[in-house]
Amino acid sequence: MTVTKHQKDATTTFIGAPPGERHGSTADEVRSHYDLSNEFFRLWQDPTQTYSCAYFEREDMTLEEAQMAKVDLALGKLGLQPGMTLLDIGCGWGSTIMRAVDKYDVNVIGLTLSHNQLAHIEQRFAESNSPRSKEVRLQPWEEFDEPVDRIVSIGAFEHFGFEKYADYFKKTYELMPDDGVMLLHTIVSTSKEEVAELGLPTTMSLMRFFRFIVTEIYPGGRIPLIKMVEDRAVEAGFHVTRKQRLRPHYARTLDTWAANLQANKDEAIAITSEEVYERYLKYLTGCADLFRVGYTDVCNSPAKKCNYGEVATHGRRDNGDGPDAAALRRNPSPLRPLRRLLRALPRPVPHLQLRVLRPRRHDAGRSQMAKIDLALDKLDLEPGMTLLDVGCGWGALMKRGLERYDVNVIGLTLSRNQYAYCQSLLDQTDTRRSHLVCLQGWEQFDQPVDRIVSIEAFEAFGKSRYAAFFDTAHRVLPADGRMVIETIFTHPINYWREHGIAITLNDMKFTRFIGREIFPGGQLPSDQDMFEFSSDAGFSTEELQLMNAHYVRTLDTWAANLVAHRDEAIAATSEEVYDRYMRYITGCADFFRRGISEVAQFTFAKES
């Protein structure tokens, strides 16, 4: 087979792309795509006209819901606070900046090269009731030179060109304050080595399709390698804390766009032409195949401007009144007597030996699976790795690891009920990977694993064992090991005072009740405990994602389920147990709603 120079150039644009002669798309080339017709794009995009990979957090999501979930995923990693200024580089039709204004109460500046997008966003701004500053400019990022607090760029990086990457990261670094965070969402190419390792063929039709994309759809477009992006970011002074891959989500997005375009074929041709319709259908269906097979991927990655000893903040404060990670580290004061009371708070699982009542209403199963995926995605799992689940509960996370991530799993539990249930659940799972459930504590575990996860078990360890736990985790993990711990934690007294949170006598009685009657011996860590004990053992804290609003909703749902099954619950246990658990669940929901306690996922990486 003879491969022409043009075909080689097109292939390297997508697979293992080296720096080329092109300096990215020109303004006219960008406009040739995005200024085609707002009405045409509206036929097959969602109502918000979000023209990038959606995030199907749940299987039953509509395209519009998944696009908004993607926007929330990106904005949630920025640590936005009311009154900040957010810069959106390549703002499209404005869905991200409008969401930022409406949900996060920030000022926004959007940059676009498209006249059509500019007019559309200006109209949306005119319809907004927000008092915040809203501005959209027909301006390239190279010419922007004003200070901002946060930066987001979704689906624009592909137009910049390899030679401009260093300038881009230098520019964005200089625009932000010392605690600045940038979220970059971009398509990335698979390296030649990865293509060979995966056994993906490089065919003539594939090369022709690449050539078609860079000449007829995105003239001048270039797709980077992940390493290329990360290297340029680090050189500029950023710390790329997480690379969340969304490849299957983009395949589904493109499939949906193609189906929408086909359903509106006649109208699409009337607006543009049959040639344009056929060209875009070829583009959408062909790109869906690229993502489905693995030639291309898409990454949603936050980069924090920081000293490498600092903790990077990503998770948003869902109920709007909590600290970011940096603020948490500035509050090392002990909690004294009240802290001892508040260390006895619950874990969000049914009590160890209590019979599990299966809900028929208010089913939160999909939300729990989304939480599990959220944790597992942070571990950068690869097929064949071994994952240790400390405090594995009833095995949902282990099962997910086997089925979705194709990893070997080991679970540790101290509950005989959970042990038996997990064994049965995993034995019924169709997988080629190994699974092992151990009725033992983490103290007795001493075999090597690749990744560790612990969801709501840390509260049972006790502060006297924190150092031993992190030392054990560090010992069994490899040099590139990662660990995610989801735990409830406490704050210093001065935090509640500063945030106007009143602690009453009833609150103290309730914490006593939890410590004696629900989780005897339970002890919550402080935020400072998590940072200090992990650091002493040789871990860096890469991410802190706060999830209070989600826990409030979880507890409210559990309470509603228990009320719906009142008679069955009493028959299974007693009225006293029913009343006790109702008090526990509703009282804890109130604590999280008021901000007395917090829940978060901490992501740790072994320091080299």
| Residues marked as catalytic | 287
Q: Quote the CA–CA distance of 10 and 103 in Å, as a whole number.
A: 41
Please, which residues have CB within 8 angstroms of residue 307's CB and are 6 or more apart in sequence?
A: none
Whole-number Cα distances in Å, 490 to 200, 321, 526, 582:
50, 15, 5, 23
Count of helices and strands (H, E) across the chain: 25, 15
Tell me the angle at which helices 548-564 and 575-594 cross, rounded to the nearest 10 degrees. Answer: 160
Q: How far apart are CA 491 and CA 458, in angstroms?
A: 16
Neighbour-count burial of 241, counting CB atoms closer than 10 A to its CB (0-12 exposed, 13-18 middle, 19+ buried): buried
Phi-psi region of 56 (alpha: psi -120 to 50; beta: other; left: phi over 0): beta
CA angle 409, 410, 411 (to 5 degrees): 120
Coil, helix or strand at residue 310: coil
Alpha-carbon distance of 393 to 83, in angstroms, equals 41
CA 317 vs CA 75, 149, 549: distances in Å: 11, 17, 8
Spatial separation of the C-alpha atoms in residues 265 and 278, rounded to whole Å = 9
Q: Which pair of tokens denotes residue 431?
A: 């997988």
Name the residue type at position 393: G
> Do 265 and 277 meet the contact criterion of CB atoms below 8 Å apart?
yes
Q: Which of 604, 346, 360 is nearest to 484 (CA)?
A: 604
- Other C-beta atoms lying within 10 Å of the C-beta of residue 463: 13
The per-residue b/e assignment along 78-101, b for 16 or more CB within 10 angstroms, e otherwise, is: bbbeeebbbbbbbbbbbbbbbbbb
What DSSP state is assigned to residue 482?
Answer: E
Query: Do the Cβ atoms of 476 and 507 come closer than 8 Å?
Result: no
DSSP 229-274: HHHHHHHHTEEE---EE-HHHHHHHHHHHHHHHHHTHHHHHHHS-H
